[in-house]
Structure 1
């Protein structure tokens, strides 16, 4: 009997592994604006839904790092859903506090550009499978806000 159960589990595991899953990528990270709290960057995420029905997005979690230290993190609960059989563009606002920006400015010097790594987890609710997290990572350079950015 246990052999039959093991075969059934293996069969189901193979079938679930072959089920198409949504694919995602971070397409861009740019400076957006300065607020009273800090600077806001906008990460653009492209998500392709292979299913003919919309898929709910449970949450988006992010961590922004520079020089191997965390400079921002957050969670966006219930950001909507993915369009059926289409590509959905998601905007993920990433807020960096002024105190952290000041410490970064001391470290970088005159060019006002920092190297970053954005780790993002897009959790969706797939039919039959349940909650599924798509891990994304992007490395690059972003501009720190200048005094003129604050008054623009």
Structure 2
């Protein structure tokens, strides 16, 4: 009876070792598959964006509105939805305007799409920047924009943009011409 019992124990031990080796092989196979997919996703073309212009748009009773124009290229043969656009306008080291534009539309398939980002700056903030404005009647700015788009299968990806420059402040003529 002992010989049979020993044979069963040895057989169960061999099966246990075989299961462990199979699990290790499966783990290695899964790691290879993850690396392959990760490499393919890393090397696949992604939409690209650039800020093409930031310019004065209009004056209202409470704010000055600027318009940032962004060109976004879509390398895919299907339109891609833009989930949201986040923006932050900074001058003199501090944020003077920020916001989120929910669901601003889609990117055209295999084409470039112009996306408008309106930025409202309250008059009170502009008055506090009087030292920066000086004699040239403009403000130095940094505009940070984050486009969040929804790529099928992959999910949401973020395209960060940053632009530095000078924005002209509206003149009296600008206030009454629009």
| Partner Cα separation in structure 2 for residue 133 and residue 140 of structure 1 | 23
TM-score of the superposition, structure 1-length normalised? 0.95
Query: Structure 2 regions of 5+ residues with no counterpart?
Result: 1-25
In the TM superposition, what are the counterparts of 1:67-146 in structure 2 within 5 Å? 67-146=92-171
TM (norm. structure 2) is: 0.82
- Please show how residues 15-34 of structure 1 align to structure 2 within 5 Å: 15-34=40-59
Aligned to 1:149: 174
Looking at structure 2, the residues matched to 148 and 105 of structure 1 have their Cα atoms a distance apart, in angstroms, of 20
* Equivalences, count: 152
- The higher-RCO structure (CA 8 Å, 6+ apart) is 1
CA distance in structure 1 between the partners assigned to 2:132 and 2:78 by the alignment: 48
Give the number of the structure whose residues are more often strand, by fraction. 1
Bigger mean CA offset, 10-19 vs 107-116: 107-116
RMSD between aligned alpha carbons?
A: 1.2
**Once superposed, which parts of structure 1, at least 4 consecutive aligned residues long, lie more than 4 Å away?**
none
Query: What residue ranges of structure 1 are gaps of 5+ in the alignment?
Result: none
Question: Greater Rg, structure 1 or structure 2?
Answer: 2
